[in-house]
Amino acid sequence: MMAGMSPTSRTLRTLKQQGAIAGVVERFNQFAGPHGIRQDLFGFIDLIALEPARGIIGVQCCARSGHAAHRTKILENEIAPEWLATGGRIEIWSWAKQKVKRGGKAERWTPKVEEITAASFPAVAAGADEGNQEGAP
């Protein structure tokens, strides 16, 4: 793959190579902020992939250094649990260059793929416990 490809382009290409139907849903809004901003669908989805075996997947793409920040962004999003509740899946694909051979010079872009599930949301787990508190009327 080309060195200048964005994480979104790398993910889109890889998903299509794996046989998924995928498309970009992130948009550039030139009127927001002084220089414009990229806006994700529902605030957390860059790509949507359709895979018969796994269903519909909302994908957040980033560099490996941004993985934790994007995970937090999804976990703080109010719509993400609804996406999961309606049968959608959520994945974070973060990309980094890794050595092909230990000690070698050749490097290859590789993704770290993390699936976010309903169990990943602390608010959902806390909300389930609130209904079982002792002494509640």
Domains observed in the chain: 7-128 (3.40.1350)
Cα–Cα nearest to 71, from 111, 37, 115, 107: 115
pLDDT tens digits in sequence order for the chain, 137 residues long: 455 899 999 999 999 999 999 999 988 888 888 888 889 999 999 999 999 999 999 999 999 999 999 999 999 999 999 999 999 999 999 999 998 888 888 899 999 999 999 999 975 544 444 444 444 44
Distance, in Å, from the CA atom of 69 to the CA atom of 100, rounded to the nearest integer, reads: 27
pTM for this entry: 0.82
d(CA 133, CA 137): 10
